[in-house]
Amino acid sequence: MTPDAFLPLNPRAYAIMLVIADEPAHGYRIKHEVEERSGGSIALDPGSLYRTIAKLVRDDLVAERRAPADTDRDDERRRYYQLTPLGKRVARAETERLAALIQTGPARALLRRGKTA
């Protein structure tokens, strides 16, 4: 399947994918990083977090993996998630799609006007 078949991504799914784009993370860290990075505009309760992750896993965009070896103090019950190769391509395609939207004339004009207009 091509990355474009998954676009546009749900904002929650995209935010989760961005958190695990560079390194695996467990659910608690994903939840807090999504909320922090979004300035609180994306809130993830445990149900929505794990439903979204489960869908990403079913779609082969995210895979569950074992805890990294350097997490000796970590709870062995924690599940870690990482992007699959397809997930990386989809996240890149969504980022490119959003960047292209922002580069349009009307979007640039809105950004120049700022929040006062």
- The pLDDT value recorded for residue 108 is 82
> Could you tell me the pTM of the whole model?
0.87
Number of structural domains, the chain? 1
pLDDT in 10s for each residue of the chain, 117 residues = 899 999 999 999 999 999 999 999 999 999 999 999 999 999 999 999 999 999 999 999 999 988 776 655 556 678 999 999 999 999 999 999 999 999 888 888 887 886 654
Look up residue 83 and give its two tokens: 């992007």
Q: Identify the domain containing residue 57 by its residue range.
A: 3-116
Q: Tell me how far apart the alpha carbons of residues 49 and 109 are, in angstroms, rounded to a whole number.
A: 35
Task: Provide the CATH number for the domain around residue 97.
Answer: 1.10.10.10
Q: How many other C-beta atoms can be found within 10 angstroms of the C-beta atom of residue 83?
A: 24
**Long-range pairs for 92-101: beta carbons < 8 A, 24 or more residues apart:** 92/3, 93/3, 93/4, 93/6, 93/7, 94/3, 94/6, 94/7, 94/8, 94/9, 94/14, 94/17, 97/7, 97/8
